Chain A
Amino acid sequence: MTKVTEFKLFLDSSAWLGYFLGNIPETKKIIDSSGNTLFTSIISIHEIYKKLETLGKTEKEKQEAMEFIEDNSIIVNLNKETAIISAKNCLKHGLHTIDSIIYSSAMEIQAIFVTADNDFRKLPKTIIIGMDEVEKTKKKTKKEH
């Protein structure tokens, strides 16, 4: 399991979803720990809500999740400076637009970026979580074949 000791953690949509759905155990320690200050991009609010909708969650469940994020993290809005830096990071790191906006928002506030998205694996100041689960799934799939 990834050891997280940093104070400022910027959570990607996948980290929040892994927490609510309970399929990334590492998120429990990261999110429930009182030692961490959490940050969330406004874009993640859109992505998480949309994903919960497609997974068939009720209105009450979606609202609870949104309120939890608001109560337990600082929502980071997009601004001109981040938009420009994220454009540069698209080219520098080969990221897609949304990936770059969210990653750059984290870097702007000098936070550690926490994600389950493997596209960020080579980026500095990034923690990839949920890999244990991915490995388990791969092994399970191999056995089945």
Chain B
Amino acid sequence: MIVLRITTIQIETPTKELLNELKKNYNSKTYDEVIKALVSRKTKSMFGKLSKRKMTSLSKMMSTLRDKSDRI
């Protein structure tokens, strides 16, 4: 069994009230679940949105992406 470490954080009372509301909306049991849901929330997909009719090849995408030589 994996035992996760727990910790305590300080937040302002109005923030806790907001979390309480979200806890109800998300049907979550814990604040931890609410925070995780907030952090991992995603906007509308942009997959392939910057591709044109002809797809950019991986090799073209990778070329000159990163300088692979060191300054010193």
Contact = CB atoms under 8 A, between A and B. Distances in A.
Given A37-B36, A96-B68, A21 B56 contact: yes
Interface residues on B, range: 20 to 34
Contacts of A134: 58
Nearest to B37: A34
B36 to A, nearest CB: 7
A20 B62 CA distance: 14
A47 B65 contact: yes
* Majority SS at the chain A contact face: helix
Interface string A1-40: 0000001000001100111111110011001111111100
Contacts of B7: none
Contact of B65 (A7, A17, A33): A17
Contacts of A99: 66, 68
B14 interface: no
Contact of A14 (B41, B45, B65, B71): B65
B40 interface: yes
Interface residues on A, range: 35 or more
B46 A65 contact: yes
B67 interface: yes
Contacts of B40: 7, 34-38
Interface of B: 36-37, 39-43, 45-51, 55-59, 61-62, 64-71
14 contacts: A19-B46, A19-B48, A21-B48, A21-B51, A21-B61, A22-B50, A23-B51, A35-B40, A37-B36, A65-B50, A72-B42, A74-B39, A98-B67, A116-B62
